Structure 1
């Protein structure tokens, strides 16, 4: 007995809907977004204002990490280094597709690195919050927006965590040229509505919907023959 076409149609739509739901669930697991949530919770607990999660600034934070080229030894301590300011306009912004004219001053930076991956809560309390100065940066009243990023080196350790703060106006600073900051791998950044992975390859899950639609069309055509 042939399977009714309506049953096949519903099955395909169910699979597609389930795949979409799984993608949305994974997006909420973005550790950079979780880090921003922890920072805002910490600020509001001390009666400071919550900060706007700016994806353009967060993408800049990811490029900031990549400028270290996996060298964890120059993060913190007497040998601490940081990328040149010129790299923001010359490299970071173009790579993210952020309009250079919308860059605003960085009012605070937090950077940490270790060989093993840490959960956002551990990264916040054990890697980034090492002293009173770090706490002062988090609670600085001059900040209005925040962007966070996390990345390994080619999908593995060492793992870098970076948070950049700015005093720009929401939706007017670190503005992506096409409305969405460019995704680059490995690593992820906050506010991107993107599945986060340290791996360089993107998941193929988001493409299941077009496949399902194509399969549906093929089925309809087959039953008409």
Structure 2
């Protein structure tokens, strides 16, 4: 009985540690926004408002490439009409609140990298550096996503000159669920945390049952 109690306690401790990790609001898109704003302010450009509606649209922008890493580039970018015809409706962004996109940065990698490394990849030349520091930007939305939850991995940054709290407004204040991937401004974990937590519950429960049977309890 004492052994069973110890095993159960250890299982609950294990679950608790993983639950804390999955509830940490670990969102690499928000982390990249922090890197962007830190770089801008260090170069005397104002920090940008992290707009969840624009972030969701950035995730839709990624999905338009359908996992085709080789198509990343100006010649293959989605048409502007996609913002009002597809991206906004898919996110639940109110169409009249769409503001001009003043800059776009997109990168695709075969492996996942940290937000800091993604920043270095996105800012690859003088043109992208100019986009980053443009003083016309007022808002930013960032998204990161793998293809069907795996490689390749896309990072997208969209800038706008919209007015805070009145541009890219979400219907009901909440973006529609869009998976896989995650976007900035919504204070949410990246895709996969909830499923990991569920899997851990199953694993711990199974382990507890196995121990109970093994001890004849």
| Smaller-chain TM-score bracket | 0.7 to 0.9
Which residue number in structure 1 is paired with residue 151 of structure 2? 157
- Cα distance 1:204–1:160, how it changes in 2: closer, same or farther (>3 A)? closer
Equivalent in 148, 157, 171 of residue 177 of structure 1: 171
SS state at 2:108 partner: strand
SS state at 1:195 partner: coil
SS state at 1:158 partner: strand
SS state at 2:76 partner: coil
Gap runs ≥5 in structure 2: 1-15, 199-217
Which residue number in structure 1 is paired with residue 82 of structure 2? 87
- Cα distance 1:86–1:202, how it changes in 2: closer, same or farther (>3 A)? farther
The alignment of Structure 1 onto Structure 2 pairs a total of residues equal to: 186
Q: What is the CA distance between 1:194 and its match in structure 2?
A: 1.1
**Contact 2:45/2:135, CA 8 A, preserved across alignment:** yes
Q: What is the CA distance between 1:203 and its match in structure 2?
A: 3.4
User: What is the TM-score when the length of structure 1 is the normalising length?
Assistant: 0.76
- Cα distance 1:22–1:118, how it changes in 2: closer, same or farther (>3 A)? closer
Which residue number in structure 2 is paired with residue 223 of structure 1? none
**What does 1:133-212 align with in structure 2 at a 5 Å threshold?**
133-197=127-191, 199=192, 202-203=194-195, 205=197
SS state at 1:203 partner: helix
| Higher share in helix | 2
Equivalent in 118, 138, 157 of residue 123 of structure 1: 118
CA distance in structure 2 between the aligned counterparts of 1:21 and 1:179, rounded to whole angstroms: 27
Which residue number in structure 1 is paired with residue 105 of structure 2? 110
User: C-alpha deviations, 1:96-131, integer Å up to 9, x for none?
Assistant: 000001000000000000111111111101x20110
- Cα distance 1:18–1:71, how it changes in 2: closer, same or farther (>3 A)? closer
CA distance in structure 2 between the aligned counterparts of 1:106 and 1:57, rounded to whole angstroms: 9
Gap runs ≥5 in structure 1: 1-16, 207-225
Q: What is the CA distance between 1:30 and its match in structure 2?
A: 0.7
Please, what is the CA RMSD of the aligned residues?
A: 2.3
Give the 4+ runs in structure 1 shifted more than 4 A.
17-24
CA distance in structure 2 between the aligned counterparts of 1:95 and 1:180, rounded to whole angstroms: 12
User: What is the TM-score when the length of structure 2 is the normalising length?
Assistant: 0.79
**Contact 2:22/2:194, CA 8 A, preserved across alignment:** no
Which residue number in structure 1 is paired with residue 36 of structure 2? 39
